[in-house]
């Protein structure tokens, strides 16, 4: 009798176990995102959020993705694309001299840019918020007070935290709780998005596909720069994120600049992000890198920010010995250049574009190759938390529209 009772109990336990496994496998049972694929990465997999907190070595994190998701495709795209970046068969095209010669810009063109900058709103508020977000010692209450001073920013952050991506069972009303839910990395992206659009007096962002394309690329570049910073020691993550966000600020500004009088091929408001530096110069008399230099100088940002943003294409053209940059500044410049190329590859992959020909990729001048640990670069690019952060940023961008 006893053995029969034991058998019955074991059968019940087994049946319960089977039911539990089946129920967990049913779609829609869990309100939390999965940890792979389109997942929000776990806290331990995400980059340290403080500017100087570098406790995680992302090169040690296993490759991301499951066989059923798009991770292997993106991984292959990044691997193939970076091989093109380091290819030496084709020498870099152009000389990049115009990136270094702000003094050669005509007075009329320079005045147009400065006049446009003078009509824009002040950068101070955004700069203060960026410093606060980048400070690992910043108190959550102080950060919350700064954000709640801007009703539009507050509403956007709460809307993102309450979006379906995070699957909260109850609506959040606390800005402090919302910040903890979305994380500081994503908070930076939201702050910069709102702040830059506010500075630019941009009201038609949601209806402008060019603006969307530029912002997506800037966000991708910022995230990639934060990860690729691990190529070198002691680079500031907050600085890298900011460089990624602002590296193409000149393109945002050029969308509102009038073309040269003799140029009737591109009427005002028809700027294309795909134009080359040479095409920009032909149409506007200046390229986006130098417009960015003028803007960041006007807003009073650091010399490191000004120089790195204005020279972010230079590693594709000029021997490093001709730059005259100190070693640390050169490392920031290299990380930004590589993050820019990775962001182009990610955008092309998300659109199903063929990057095999390297159409949007700039080759790195051979003089820089010895500064990069190619194996570590490859490991960082296939980091599963990088893909998670990129996908989370996409979800947040959609939720914040």
- What is the DSSP code string of 228-280? HGGGSSS--HHHHHHHHHHTTHHHHHHTTSPPPTT--SS-TT---TT--HHHH
Report the pLDDT value the prediction gives residue 313, as an integer from 0 to 100.
94
With cut-offs at 50, 70 and 90, classify the pLDDT of residue 6. low
Between 89 and 239, residue with greater pLDDT: 239
Match 């417009």 to its residue by tokens.
291
Contact partners, residue 267, CB within 8 Å, separation at least 6: 259
Average pLDDT over residues 80-89: 87
pLDDT digits (tens, 9 = 90+) for 267-282: 655 788 888 888 898 8
Name the residue among 238, 249, 244 with its Cα closest to residue 211. 249
Report the pLDDT value the prediction gives residue 85, as an integer from 0 to 100.
93
pLDDT digits (tens, 9 = 90+) for 9-22: 666 556 665 555 45
Q: Which region among 12-16, 189-193, 207-211 has the lowest average model confidence (pLDDT)?
A: 12-16
Sign of torsion, CA 48 52 54 59? positive
Average pLDDT over residues 292-320: 92
Average pLDDT over residues 388-392: 83
Torsion of CA 157, 161, 163, 165, to 10 degrees: 130
Report the pLDDT value the prediction gives residue 322, as an integer from 0 to 100.
87
With cut-offs at 50, 70 and 90, classify the pLDDT of residue 25. very low
**What is the rounded CA–CA span in Å between residue 220 and residue 244?**
8
Name the residue among 321, 319, 65, 325 with its Cα closest to residue 310. 325
Report the pLDDT value the prediction gives residue 55, as an integer from 0 to 100.
35
- Tell me the C-alpha to C-alpha distance, in Å, between residue 63 and each of 71, 90, 355, 387: 9, 30, 22, 10
Contact partners, residue 13, CB within 8 Å, separation at least 6: none
Give CB contacts under 8 A, 24+ apart, made by 157-161: 157/182, 157/187, 157/190, 159/399, 159/400, 160/186, 160/190, 160/396, 160/399, 160/400
pLDDT digits (tens, 9 = 90+) for 138-154: 777 777 887 888 888 88
Average pLDDT over residues 186-209: 78
Is the pLDDT at 202 greater than 80? The verdict is no
**What is the rounded CA–CA span in Å between residue 297 and residue 113?**
12
Report the pLDDT value the prediction gives residue 100, as an integer from 0 to 100.
61
Partners of 63 in beta bridges = 383
Asked if 310 and 336 count as a contact pair (C-beta separation under 8 A), the reply is: no
Report the pLDDT value the prediction gives residue 367, as an integer from 0 to 100.
93
Average pLDDT over residues 366-391: 90
Average pLDDT over residues 168-173: 87
Enter the pTM of the model.
0.77
Report the pLDDT value the prediction gives residue 66, as an integer from 0 to 100.
41
Is the pLDDT at 339 greater than 90? The verdict is yes
User: Helices in 262-353 by DSSP H: which ranges?
Assistant: 277-284, 288-298, 303-310, 327-350
Is the pLDDT at 232 greater than 80? The verdict is yes
Report the pLDDT value the prediction gives residue 26, as an integer from 0 to 100.
40
Average pLDDT over residues 193-198: 80
Is the pLDDT at 126 greater than 80? The verdict is no
Report the pLDDT value the prediction gives residue 9, as an integer from 0 to 100.
66
Is the pLDDT at 366 greater than 80? The verdict is yes
With cut-offs at 50, 70 and 90, classify the pLDDT of residue 290. very high
Asked if 73 and 345 count as a contact pair (C-beta separation under 8 A), the reply is: no
């Amino acid at each position: 009798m006893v053995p029969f009772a034991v058998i019955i109990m074991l059968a019940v336990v087994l049946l319960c176990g089977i039911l539990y496994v089946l129920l967990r496998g049913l779609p829609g049972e869990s309100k939390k995102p999965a940890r792979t694929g389109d997942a929000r990465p776990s806290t331990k997999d995400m980059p340290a959020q403080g500017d100087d907190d570098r406790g995680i070595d992302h090169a040690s994190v296993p490759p991301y993705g499951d066989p059923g998701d798009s991770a292997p495709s993106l991984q292959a795209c990044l691997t193939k694309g970076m091989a093109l970046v380091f290819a030496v068969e084709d020498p870099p095209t152009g000389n990049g001299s115009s990136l270094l010669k702000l003094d050669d810009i005509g007075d009329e063109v320079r005045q147009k840019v400065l006049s446009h900058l003078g009509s824009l709103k002040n950068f101070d508020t955004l700069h203060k918020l960026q410093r606060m977000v980048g400070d690992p010692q910043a108190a959550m209450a102080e950060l919350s007070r700064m954000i709640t001073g801007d009703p539009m920013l507050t509403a956007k952050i709460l809307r993102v935290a309450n979006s379906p991506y995070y699957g909260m069972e109850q609506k959040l009303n606390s800005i402090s709780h919302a910040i903890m839910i979305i994380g500081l990395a994503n908070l930076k992206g939201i702050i910069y998005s709102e702040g830059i659009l506010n500075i630019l007096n941009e009201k038609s962002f949601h209806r402008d596909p060019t603006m969307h394309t530029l912002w997506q690329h800037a966000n991708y570049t910022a995230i990639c720069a934060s990860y690729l910073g691990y190529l070198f020691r002691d680079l500031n993550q907050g600085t890298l994120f900011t460089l990624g966000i602002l590296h193409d600020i000149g393109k945002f500004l050029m969308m509102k600049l009038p073309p040269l009088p003799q140029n009737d091929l591109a009427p005002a408001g028809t700027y294309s992000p795909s134009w080359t530096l040479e095409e920009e110069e032909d149409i506007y008399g200046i390229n986006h890198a130098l417009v960015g230099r003028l803007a960041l100088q006007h807003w009073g940002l650091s010399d490191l920010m000004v120089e790195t943003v204005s020279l972010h294409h230079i590693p594709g053209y000029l021997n490093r010995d001709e730059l005259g940059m100190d070693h640390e500044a050169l490392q920031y410049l290299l990380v930004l250049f590589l993050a820019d190329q990775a962001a182009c590859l990610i955008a092309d992959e998300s659109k199903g574009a063929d990057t095999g020909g390297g159409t949007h990729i700039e080759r790195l001048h051979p003089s820089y190759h010895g500064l990069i640990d190619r194996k570590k670069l490859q490991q960082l690019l296939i980091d599963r938390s990088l893909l998670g952060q990129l996908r989370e940023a996409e979800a947040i961008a959609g939720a914040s529209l």
